[in-house]
Amino acid sequence: MINVRELSNQELQALNRMRLDNAVVLKLIAAHFEAAKQKLVREGDMVLIHRLQGRAEAYEDLLRAVDESAEALNRA
């Protein structure tokens, strides 16, 4: 999990720029997140399930950190 409260101001600004300037990249990450969730529903192999869970969690963490970056910058 990415804790935005522990990030430097420079890292928060980078995440916020990603939110403001890279909508296409964020849509791509969101699409991969949704695809990983769909694969999780259909997958039966536990090894692949664990991999997909890790992948989905990483995508979700990044998307959440990008969303929370503006609020964290305002507090700083």
Three-state secondary-structure class, residue 9: helix
Give yes or no for residue 59 having a pLDDT over 90: yes
Structure-derived torsion over alpha carbons of residues 66, 27, 37, 51, reported in degrees to the nearest 10: -70
Give 14-52 pLDDT, tens digit per residue: 999 998 888 899 999 999 999 999 999 999 999 999 999
| pLDDT score recorded for residue 76 | 67
Give yes or no for residue 75 having a pLDDT over 80: yes
Give the global pTM.
Answer: 0.85
CA 63 – CA 15 distance, rounded (Å): 9
